[in-house]
Amino acid sequence: MTTFTDGPTAARQNLRPTIGAVSLSFVVALFLLATANRSFWDKTAIYFSGTVGAMPVLALGLAALFSAICIAVSIRFLTKPLFIFLILTSAVASWFMDRFGVLVSVEMIRNAAETTRAEASNLITPALAWHVVKFGLLPTLAVAWVRVEHRPFIAKARRNAAFLVPLLLIAAVAASMQMRLLIITSREHRDWLASLNPVAPIVSAVRYASSTKAEKNIVVQTLGADAHLVAAAGRRPRVLVVVAGETARADNFSLGGYPRPTNPELAARDITYFAQTESCGTATAVSLPCMFSVYDRDSYSHRKGLQTENLLDVLSHAGLAIEWWDNNTGSKGIADRVTYHSLPASPDPRFCTDGECQDGILLERLVPWLDGVTTDSVLVIHQLGSHGPAYYERYPDAYRRFKPDCRTPDVADCSAEEIVNAYDNTIAYTDHFLSTIIDALKAREGRLDGTMIYMSDHGESLGENGLYLHGAPYLIAPKQQTHVPFVLWLGAQDRATVNTACLRQRAGEPASHDNLFHTVLGLMSVATTVYDPALDVLSGCRPAPST
């Protein structure tokens, strides 16, 4: 029987090259190892320096291992989708790893999953798009274009095994030759294997998906149900404004000795600055709920944070009025059971554009709110603060004090000076923001007893050691990401009872996010069994409250 094939169709088929599944597996494996792992190889060169021949042996072993994995998954009908997925994943991950020095950890994925469109748009730049086209889209089009030749099942199994066995043997021998070096390097440098692409991002994604699935049916447990006020009757309403800062690092606060005048307004006010404060995490998704949690950093986990009521719930049990104003990416579940206002979508052109608002919009609402307070109240303000990489969008022109400032979200294209200038401008604007809150509280001291606490959720890397932004795993995070500012302003009533010398001494001691929960309970005169005076920064500096 003669089979007739349409001429143009046959011509198009002939234009498509044919490649065996094993050959394509080798090509994809070597491509991933060579193009998506610059950060990994750069770190390897540093950590293996002085060990002759170690890098070639490692490269050979990884090439064999990557090839074996690709061959093992080169199953008919799945080969192309899997290879395309690996290539695209590697292309995106390598951009953030190589460009900003970040690691795609579980918490980084959680942060990305909980971000907003406006925040994400700051990271999606033309440079990222071009990188993904070169190292993701074009290679995947090539994979999609070629015809992959698969053998019958038995023959394919034999052929794959003929390659898998020697490849795995090569990988094992290479590892055994450098076993001691591999173990020492992985233990001393946790960022090393965490930079291996696409292995580390995929493992992190699987772990994130697994933890998210396990958290779906969590029932929140009551905390501090015995909470009650112990303040004297007939006094003025007590108001506490808690400002949850965003991405402010202590290194750039002149209150702590930074040579630039980034805090001139706060320096002129009677504030207390805790210069040795450590964060609970390096990303908002971890630090923010941990700050308001009863757990300290060592015992906190994302699951514990979800299944246990937090500081705001305890304050509510005591009968206080609680509100959360958010100018960021949400409360991360903290404000689920209190009054909540989200501001980024506000149609106010003075402060807002493209789904983000400068923090001035919060100040606009503060005065009318304070004038309406009639009972003990806590207001939590979640700033946009110094969130990168678009630092230049966080402050108005009046606070563009340090120039030239980086005017693009692709900070790696700016000079070190421009990045620091833009970032310092955000700190100067936060200085003004906090000072304005203090002034508003002070102006109402005849009617309200006001206090303000400011704590940043985490710090930021500005190019030190090739790192930008934040979110590094805590164990290996640089101090720029964990050393945060903590500012306390006490109103007239508290200033009259707190021992100034004692407070000054406490301010010179180490502090952390662990202190927020208990310090707030102490300031608001809330008695409860979950209060720990040892973690209240004021507990030893004022008369002990009665119960």
Chunk the chain into consecutive blocks of 10 residues (it has 547) and report each block's average pLDDT, rounded to whole numbers: 47 76 96 96 92 92 96 92 96 93 88 81 88 96 93 90 96 94 91 94 92 85 96 84 98 98 98 98 95 96 94 98 96 96 92 93 96 96 96 96 95 93 98 98 95 98 93 92 98 90 95 98 96 95 67
Q: Are residues 327 and 438 both part of a single domain?
A: yes
- Inside any domain, residue 221: no
N-term to C-term CA, the chain: 99
Residue with tokens 């009677």: 270
3-class DSSP state of 317: helix
Q: Are residues 190 and 264 both part of a single domain?
A: no
Number of structural domains the chain divides into: 2
- Inside any domain, residue 220: no
Q: Are residues 181 and 302 both part of a single domain?
A: no
Phi, psi dihedrals of residue 386, rounded to the nearest 5°: -115, 25
Q: Are residues 490 and 378 both part of a single domain?
A: yes
Q: Are residues 174 and 47 both part of a single domain?
A: yes
Task: State the Cα–Cα distance between residues 65 and 85, nearest whole angstrom.
Answer: 18
Find residue 324's DSSP bridge partners: 340, 380
Question: Considering the entire predicted model, what is its pTM?
Answer: 0.89
Q: Are residues 258 and 208 both part of a single domain?
A: no
Q: Are residues 178 and 121 both part of a single domain?
A: yes
Q: Are residues 174 and 252 both part of a single domain?
A: no
- Other CB atoms within a 10 A radius of the CB of residue 508 amount to 11
Task: State the Cα–Cα distance between residues 140 and 137, nearest whole angstrom.
Answer: 5
Which residues, including other chains, have CB under 8 Å from residue 93's CB and lie 6 or more apart? 36, 104, 197, 198, 200, 201
Find residue 244's DSSP bridge partners: 382, 455
Amino acid at the residue 298: D
Which residues, including other chains, have CB under 8 Å from residue 386's CB and lie 6 or more apart? 245, 246, 247, 248, 249, 394, 423, 426, 427, 430, 460
pLDDT of residue 112: 84
pLDDT of residue 117: 79
pLDDT of residue 2: 41
pLDDT of residue 52: 84
Q: Are residues 187 and 247 both part of a single domain?
A: no
Domain that holds residue 41: 7-214
Q: Are residues 261 and 377 both part of a single domain?
A: yes
Q: Are residues 301 and 196 both part of a single domain?
A: no
Amino acid at the residue 126: P
Q: Are 443 and 255 in contact (CB under 8 A)?
A: no
pLDDT of residue 4: 44
- Inside any domain, residue 2: no
Q: What is the 3-state composition of the chain as percent helix, strand, coil, each rounded to the nearest 5? A: 50, 10, 35
